[in-house]
Amino acid sequence: MDKELVDKFIFAAFNFIYEPERTHSRVTSDWEQTSELGLSAALAAQIRPGVLVGAEVRYMRSFDGLGLDRFTGNALFIGPTIYAKFSEKVWMSAAWSAQVAGRVHNEMGALDTTNFERHRALLRFGYNF
């Protein structure tokens, strides 16, 4: 969900995330099923026409099973974002975030690097037809 907070200047985005994953090992022939559930919120400001710079906060929970069967850990990510529109059809977006809090279920520690990355980076280019 996106919302323009200040006309053509400040924008907010909220996302609900469900990421199921099923992997098969060719070595053991075992199947692994996991899922992640999360929420994210972002604010961005248009610093010039077609260029937005902002920040995102993302909270994720990890589970065994596709149906969120058993909680395995959580993580909180924070980082900057940028979006640039090069023409009416070509655009680019980038985001980087670091895990600033989290924990593996029933274990001590400040971060969950078992179920989640320490850093996340995303770079997308798009062409609208």
Instruction: Specify the residue for token string 């899922």.
Output: 35
CB-neighbour burial class of residue 6 (10 A; exposed 0-12, middle 13-18, buried 19+): exposed
pLDDT in tens, 62-100: 999 999 999 999 999 999 999 999 999 999 999 999 999
For the whole model, what pTM was predicted?
0.86
DSSP 118: S
d(Cα 91, Cα 35) in Å, to the nearest integer? 30
